[in-house]
Amino acid sequence: GLVGTLITTILPHWRRTAHVGTNILTAVSYLKGLWMECVWHSTGIYQCQIYRSLLALPRDLQASRALMVISCLLSGVACACAVVGMKCTRCAKGTPAKTTFAVVGGVLFILAGLLCMVAVSWTTNDVVQNFYNPLLPSGMKFEIGQALYLGFISSSLSLIGGTLLCLSCQDEAPSRPYQAQPRAGTATAPSYRPPDAYKDNRPPSATSASHNGYR
């Protein structure tokens, strides 16, 4: 998920269009991404130009930039937390903090996947609406680029990985061996103590025996 999100953010293949003129040698393909726009000619020439002004960009492009950058940062932090929380690592081994790190990594992966999914879905919706808009000329219409498909896959992987990390920590509670607790009705009997009548060596009289309930 992290690698796919990084590649999606860098690639200029978010919007693509192909315009074929009367001569096949003049065929060009325009590509637009978050940071640059490129032109590919059929002769093999590939030219790219980085956006020079940030404020001149449309708002949807600026929002997509921010969402993808935040998604990449969250994915990086989530990877670090997940490595610490994994059972195969020795970091914080045998402490409750290991489970906490794994849960934090899973939550950050889910947030990163959601941000990437929002940015990619927003751009895809904008491309589809403009493509079917009859008021726009054909030169301003674009198609869905390969980076958007990669973004959907990367966000899905981040969501699945984060969910698995969160679910795997439910069975981390240490199991204690069962110890049978004594019941209230089965308390041990006190040690036998002879009655006071038998404390001396003299045989008990009839009066003391009848008084203590013995015959």
The average pLDDT across 101-121 equals 93
Find out if CATH 1.20.140.150 is the number for domain 55-171.
Answer: yes
Angle, helices 97-131 vs 59-85, to 10°: value is 160
| Domain residue limits, the chain | 55-171
**CA-atom Rg of the chain in angstroms:** 38
The average pLDDT across 86-103 equals 79
What's the start-to-end Cα distance of the chain, in Å?
90
**pLDDT recorded at residue 113:** 95
The average pLDDT across 201-211 equals 53
Closest alpha carbon to 147 in 119, 173, 105? 119
pLDDT tens for 49-68 read: 888 887 788 888 889 999 99
- Is pLDDT larger for residue 34 or for residue 134? 34
Q: Per DSSP, which regions of the chain are E strands?
A: 15-19, 28-32, 36-41, 46-50, 143-144
Sign of CA dihedral 79, 83, 86, 88: positive
Q: How many CA atoms lie within 13 A of 183 on its CB side?
A: 2
Q: Is the pLDDT of residue 209 over 70?
A: no
